[in-house]
Structure formats: C-alpha cells, structure tokens
Amino acid sequence: MQLYNTLSAKERAELIEKAGKERLTISFYIYAKIENPEIFRDHLFLNWNQQDVLGRIYVAKEGINAQLSVPADNFNLFKDFLDSISFLENVRLNIAIEHDNFSFLKLKVKVRDKIVADGLNDDSFDVTNKGIHVEAEEFNKLIDDPNVILVDMRNHYESEIGHFKNAVTPDVDTFRESLDIIEADLKDHKTDKKLVMYCTGGIRCEKASAYYKHKGFQNVYQLEGGIINYVRQVEAQGLENKFIGKNFVFDERRSERISDDVIAHCHQCGEPADLHTNCANEACHLLFIQCDACKEKMENCCSASCQEVIQLSFEEQKNLRKGQGNSNDIFKKGRTDHLPYKRDLRNIFDILNKTS
C-alpha cells in the first residue's frame, strides 16, 4: 500500500508534460474536529494518489489546510470525494487565478499540531467567535470608510509585491509574530474603529478574528475567501479592483498577477521588480526578488559568493554542503545583509531613527 511519494519532482514533471493535460491549482481549508489525523491523512493520500492529485496538505485535530494541483478532467471525481466527507461537503474551493500545470510536483499530506502555525493557546479563547465575513462588494465599501483600519495578515515578503490600497502591512516574518504586534499597534482603537483583515485564502483571518475579538476589538471583519476569492468576484461582478500588484502564493508559481502595478524592487539593484526567485546555490536557496538584468548578471544567485559556488562541479558543491544543514538565509526571505538594496534601505531607516 503506497502512502508516500515514489517519484522525484523531476520525474513527476516529465510525466505531467508527457500527459499533456490541463491541471487546476486549488486551495481550501476548514476548521473541524478530527479525532484521528493520522488515519485521516492516510485516507486522503490513498484516494488523491489514485486521482493524480498533487500538493501540500496539513492535517491536524483542528482541521485541514490544503493547496493542490488537480487534473482538470478529474475535478468531478475530486469534488465527489470531498463531498463524501461530512465536514468537507460543499467546502469553498479557491481556484487559482493563474494556472500552472507544474504548481505542485509531489503529493505531501502531513500531520501537524495545527493547520497554521499561530502560536496561540486555543483553550484560552472561543475560536468559534469569529469576525464578520464579507464578500468583495461589501469589502470594497468597508475599506473606503475612514473609520476602518485595514490590516494585511500576511508576512512582509507577501505584502511586499502586492496588497490592498491603504492597508497596514506589518513588517513580520511569520503569522505568529504578527498577532501581538498588530494588537499593540491598534490598542487605542479597539472600540472606535472597525478592524478589517485579509490574507491569501482566508485561513489566517479565521483564527485571528476570533483572537482579536477575545482581546477586546468590538468590530472585526474578514474578507471571505481572501485575495483569491476577492479577485474572482471582482471579475465576475465587474467591481473595482482595489488590490495592487501581485498575490504571493506558496507553490511553484510563487505569485499571481492581480494588477499591472509593480510595487516592489529588485533586492540587488533597486529597480522595479516583483518576481521572487530562489538562489541557484542549493546550500543557500534564499528566496528574494531579482530583476531580469540581475538574474542574467548573477546567474540566478543572491551574491557573488553563491555565484562562485555554482561554478563548481556537483560533487564539489555536495561536499561543501556536508554537515552544514540548511542555511539560515533560507528562512530570512530577502532580509540578508548581502542583498545591496535591502541593506541600503535598512541603513537609511537606522539613520532616520537616530535623528528622529
């Protein structure tokens, strides 16, 4: 009985290309009580592996968080399987704006303590007492209200390439980190302002809205289905699009273009750019923004030292990585000191802070 991947990403990509069939990139989540996540995990893998479903899925006692690539001609079979599970029947499916047949190249179903790492003690507050869910049309009206504080619940490297107009975009690396920072920054407006939140697909706001209500915020709202659902409703209903730039996504596509605006900059030269790339040096693999000119000049590397490494043979690179573990740069998401543009910005901020 196969319960794990047997093909490499390269082998899977070759099979997808050979099949020549369109695939849909889909995400969904739901908070539900799952008594035995391990058994549920195996049930999902066995069925989705047969349907040629790929993706990254987290299962916990509190629910499921799934990002998937599904063959288009298997969609009905996929949906029927979901509907056969009581708490997943008619679950909202966020279908990507831009599809890529290679968005996921493996099926990974993992059991976790939580479906989103939030660092919260769920027993300390009522997680079901959530904020008011609003669709795109109502969301647009709300964020035009001067009595509203609009907060992006995503991380800095997500909002850097795209966000809603006039949104507060916390300079944080993790969702867990953002929760207390946002509360502290908005502590004086718990009763006199409306707190409106959004994220990629809605899952982070589900927990955050309940947490902030527990912390005393009186008027809490969240964008139903997140940015993905918002864009689909805007297009279907002919509404004004208030999102500028690109929507960061956690698969091989890395982003979806929502508007023509390029609001970010290359982390190496500072020119307008909003394409994330991973450093070609496998020992680094830093995720950062790189323009086409720097990409060519630096051979897809984040630094001259990494560029030197990729000139070595495969065996030499492998030997260099032995015993090193993962580079800390992987997790800095474009904050490292050797990125010139980002370093220069930090120096400017330090000077301003010292003179203010």
Angle at 26 between CA 23 and CA 30, to 5 degrees: 155
Three-state SS annotation for 7-71: CCHHHHHHHHHHHCCCEEEEEEEEECCCCCHHHHHHHHHHHHHHCCCEEEEEEECCEEEEEEEEE
**Which residue bears the tokens 């051979």?**
299
d(CA 86, CA 92): 14
d(CA 167, CA 153): 10
**Which residue bears the tokens 């196969």?**
2
Residue 17: HSE in the Cβ half-sphere, 13 Å Cα cutoff = 6
CA nearest to 288, candidates 344, 332, 349: 332
What DSSP character marks residue 88?
A: G
Concatenating the DSSP letter of every residue in 115-145 gives SS-----GGGS-TT-PPEEE-HHHHHHHHT-
CA nearest to 244, candidates 164, 143, 149: 164
Element (H, E) at 92: none
d(CA 248, CA 240): 20
d(CA 127, CA 294): 46
* CA 352 to each of CA 142, 181, 342, 355, 356: distance values in angstroms, whole numbers, following the listed order: 34, 21, 16, 5, 6
Residue 182: HSE in the Cβ half-sphere, 13 Å Cα cutoff = 29
Is 301 designated active site? no
d(CA 199, CA 182): 14
Length of the chain, in residues = 356
Catalytic machinery residues: 199
